[in-house]
Amino acid sequence: MKEGRVVPQLNTDTCQQELVLPPDPEPNKTPMRDAWVMRSPYCGTHFVHFPLKGSRMTYIITFIPYQPNEVMDPVTLGTSALDDVNYWLDITDWPIGDHPVRLVADGVEESFTLKLR
């Protein structure tokens, strides 16, 4: 009997992931504040949900890709509580890297690193 071989099909599915924001920093501490997004080779399209934090908010993502030939302009995501809070964004073409993110919610500013793989 011949053994069957399973060959996975790559880039066939659409994947969704919720961005989990790092916890607020404690006073007098400087913790590493990372939010991870892991993309699968089995997914051709990757969507990430950026959560609403406050009634008005803006995410400003600056790209620092691992590959120097991958250049991408910063992305600004702005929304308010009156907008659609299901902010799913296609990140399929975003470069792999550690990208600084500035989040301004109701006038309060914080930052974290988006670890995109």
**What are the residue boundaries of the structural domains of the chain, listed by start?**
33-116
Domain made up of 33-116: CATH architecture: Sandwich (2.60)
Give the pLDDT band (50/70/90) at residue 116: very high
The pTM (predicted TM-score) of the whole model is 0.79
> Which residues on neighbouring strands pair with residue 59, listed in sequence order?
77, 103
Q: How far apart are CA 34 and CA 111, in angstroms?
A: 9
Give the pLDDT confidence score for residue 4 in this predicted structure: 56
Residue with the bigger pLDDT between 67 and 5: it is 67
Residue with the bigger pLDDT between 66 and 8: it is 66
Task: Identify the CA nearest to 92 among candidates 19, 21, 14.
Answer: 14
| pLDDT tens per residue, range 12-65 | 688 889 888 877 666 556 566 899 999 988 888 999 988 887 788 899 999 999
Whether 110 has a pLDDT exceeding 80, the answer reads yes
Please measure the distance between the N-terminal and C-terminal CA atoms of the chain and give it in whole angstroms: 41
Give the pLDDT confidence score for residue 1 in this predicted structure: 43
Across the chain, mean pLDDT equals: 82
